[in-house]
Amino acid sequence: MTETEFLQWVRGPLFDIATIIMVAGIIVRILQILLLGRKRNLAEAKGSAAAAGLRTIITRSVPDRNTYRRSAFTLTTGYVFHIGLFVVIFLFAPHILVFQDLLNISWPALSTPVVDATSVITMLALIAVLIHRLIDPVKRFLSGFQDYLAWLVTFLPLITGYIAFHRLAPPAPTMIAIHILSVELLMVLFPFTKLAHAFTLFISRWYNGAISGYRGVRS
Amino acid sequence: MKKDQTLGEALRLKGISRRGFLKFCAATASMMALPPAMVPAIAEALEKARKPSVIWLSFQECTGCTESLTRSSTSTVEELIFDTISLDYHHTLQAASGTGAEDAREASMKENRGKYVLIVDGSIPISNPGYSTIAGISNEDMLMEAAEGAAAIVAIGSCAAFGGIPQARPNPTGAVSVSDLIKDKPIVNVPGCPPIPVVITGVLTHFLTFGLPELDHLGRPLAFYGNSIHDRCYRRPFYDKGLFAETFDDEGARKGWCLYKLGCKGPTTYNACATTKWNDGTSFPIEAGHPCLGCSEPDFWDAGSFYQALSTPTGDITRNTLYAAGAGVAAGAAIAAVNRKHRSSAEKRHEKVTIDDLEKESKS
Amino acid sequence: MSDLYVTMTRPDSIDIRVGAGPRDTGNVAPLLNEVRHALVQLLDTGKETIIDLRSIPLGPGESERLEETLGEGEIEAVLHSLGRSTIRETAYPGVWLVTHYNEEDEIMGKFVEVTHIPQILKSQNEDINEGLQRLGSTLEQTH
């Protein structure tokens, strides 16, 4: 297989397979949760469940002062790499073209040096959280294989993308193919690992808020 | 120039001064993409260089490579380089034809055995030798025979280097590259469709002066194929600023912005177009407003649309997503139904704990 | 998929503007900085620098802009060997622009040399030697 064939294979059939697994997987997981259903709450509503649900999505996304004081490092690095991932994935011109291909809509990109710097910061934050996970006794006790796997498949697209962009390891067609391959790995594992929190997160926050709202208490 | 003369002697006999020779060396260094600091070393090597015999074989090709070389204006440097080689066989260019031409090839191969440089353009059909023959000899036979006595082989053009357009799917002739057939000789690949003329002469000059050039993993001389088009492109600053032409006639196209979104293969293509340029340094495809096709890379003809951005998937991703969503909904509903059944049966089987049960446990 | 083919208009409707203004690749400024650095080095250590202008990607019009910026100095020499070569000191002493042309007057090479005097201007020993012999035989003939 030549370099070009490898790149074409990764961009073509493999990307198709990865897309199908990710999209079908996400929908299966969401439906599994939603269609399980809840028992009808016979108690009289003392407040709006929906309003409280929405409010909780927002309030739980902003750390409160006490939580922040207790685990400033985890929160800061967490925010840094999540925002970094957002910038790198959604605001880099070549990446936007992929979404344009899918959705037929486009949005402005950030200039490459900004995205480049962001990717470095994101990788540093990810390395920092990994080290913290390894040296903090509580975190290490709570961590299993899946946590390290989730870290790895998030980190791989960043590092391979960085290498491909800066041509630290020639040849370019192979490096770009490896980068896309690492993204496909992420896409395939996305619905079936803890990475699924990207879409279950808001459901659970809404639900937590909604329960309290229905009872008329603050969440 | 007689065969036993060195280039230095030949130039002096032509009445060219040392200054002229230094000028020639400076231009040669520039042509070979070597730093100007190398000029003294080049001067010394060229001074001593002797005339090598060259045999040029053309197989499944369009003569575009020969055209590229011969239609480039005969600048003095290239003229002098060609004065310094003895082109003993090139069936498109030579005056002799038929038996006369083939005799010249065989005579040169015999006389210069082990010393001549073999240049090949075009790919070699192996599924049926009858697809391409010269004087009744199949391309494969002619190549194998000529390669045996060659000091080194230069595969000119993407066809000879990688199979090129004849090898594009479905490859009706079973075309292969020179390096697919020959494993025991040094091969320099000079791909491009066609290659830049000064790259061809630059590689030959390198042979004359310093021997085999340094090659990359695909056998291409690093001096010319060491950088990607993208990295040396004058439109690169627009890529970095995120300024792209979206179509061939929008404002961005007129302002000369980056052609990435129009499918430019510059980021994955290694060649010297962006610096050496074409037509005596006038311009190159991107400067003319067209994305790079990636013609100096293997399988460039099968690398998807010339006009599709490099980062995008080649499949119909919208359709795939819709199918996947449909399948996901069906599977999700089915799994959910099973789960609900599980739950209701579990609820039915569920027995309430009574005080008696707890008392029994504490007694035992 | 790209809908390129649909949005493309006919070639004759494209508004083509020739010389639509300078296009900056950003390579001129670093090049001039390199020249400045080379001048400092020439003064401090006497080390000469030659820059091959063909090895640097320059956009349309940028080569001309570079030459304009360098300007014209006190010396301009023309060498006649294998075609013309112009050797010109720029407005910055020690910075020379050497352009080699072939016999058809096409550019074969263009260099910025940071030196007290470009090598090619000096008489070469091989040529001096040959001239010496010629002078010798001329003298022999006249005597």
CATH of the domain at A54: 1.20.950
Check A98 against B312: CB less than 8 A apart. yes
Query: B214 and B87 in contact (C-beta within 8 Å)?
Result: no
Assess if residue A135 is contained within a domain: yes
Q: How far is B7 from chain C (nearest CA, A)?
A: 15
**Residue tagged 């006038």 (tokens):** B282
Between the alpha carbon of residue A40 and those of residues A43, A49, B343, the distances in Å are: 9, 13, 15
pLDDT in tens, B44-62: 888 887 777 889 999 999 9
Q: How confident is the model at residue C3 (pLDDT cuts 50, 70, 90)?
A: very low
Which residues from chain A sit within 8 angstroms of residue B228, using beta carbons?
A: 167, 172
Q: Kindly tell me if the per-residue pLDDT of C6 is higher than 50.
A: no
* Cβ-count burial B275-305 (b if 16+ within 10 Å, e if not): bbbbebbeebbbbebbbbbbbbbbbbbebbe
Instruction: Please indicate if any CB of chain B lies within 8 Å of the CB of C51.
Output: yes
Assess if residue A84 is contained within a domain: yes
The domain B229-302 having CATH identifier 4.10.480.10: the answer here is yes
The partner residue sitting opposite B325, judged by closest CB among A5, A23, A37, is A23
Instruction: Please indicate if any CB of chain A lies within 8 Å of the CB of B329.
Output: yes
Instruction: Read off the pLDDT of each residue in B324-331 and give the average, rounded to a whole number.
Output: 90
Higher pLDDT, B72 or B40: B40
Query: B135 and B164 in contact (C-beta within 8 Å)?
Result: no
The partner residue sitting opposite B333, judged by closest CB among A31, A102, A172, is A31
d(CA B278, CA B286): 11
Instruction: Read off the pLDDT of each residue in B57-74 and give the average, rounded to a whole number.
Output: 83
- The confidence score (pLDDT) of residue A16 equals 93
Assess if residue A27 is contained within a domain: no
Instruction: Give the number of other CB atoms < 10 A from CB of residue B337.
Output: 11
Q: How confident is the model at residue C20 (pLDDT cuts 50, 70, 90)?
A: very low
Most B CBs within 10 A among A1, A16, A116, hence the mutation to make, goes to A16
- The confidence score (pLDDT) of residue B75 equals 55
Assess if residue A8 is contained within a domain: no
Instruction: Please indicate if any CB of chain B lies within 8 Å of the CB of C139.
Output: no
β-pair type (B175-176, B124-125): antiparallel
Most A CBs within 10 A among B311, B316, B339, hence the mutation to make, goes to B311
- The confidence score (pLDDT) of residue A130 equals 96
ipTM higher than 0.90? no
The partner residue sitting opposite A5, judged by closest CB among B299, B318, B329, is B299
pLDDT in tens, B290-326: 999 999 999 999 988 999 999 999 888 888 889 899 9
Residues of chain A under the 70 pLDDT cut: 219
Handedness of CA C29, C30, C36, C42 (dihedral sign): negative
Query: C110 and C62 in contact (C-beta within 8 Å)?
Result: no
Give the structural domain span for A211. Answer: 48-215
CATH number of B50-225: 3.40.50.700
Q: What share of chain C is helix, strand, coil (3-state, %, to 5)?
A: 40, 20, 40
Instruction: Please indicate if any CB of chain A lies within 8 Å of the CB of B270.
Output: yes
For all residues of chain B together, what is the average pLDDT? 87
Assess if residue A32 is contained within a domain: no
Assess if residue A68 is contained within a domain: yes
Q: Can you list the domains of chain C with their CATH numbers?
A: 25-142 (3.30.1370.140)
- The confidence score (pLDDT) of residue C24 equals 61
The domain spans of chain B are: 50-225, 229-302, 319-363
- The confidence score (pLDDT) of residue A119 equals 97
Instruction: Please indicate if any CB of chain A lies within 8 Å of the CB of B347.
Output: no
Instruction: Work out how many domains chain A is built from and give that number.
Output: 1
Assess if residue A40 is contained within a domain: no
Between the alpha carbon of residue C109 and those of residues A101, B38, B55, B280, C78, the distances in Å are: 45, 15, 30, 11, 15
pLDDT in tens, B215-245: 999 999 998 999 999 988 989 989 988 899 9
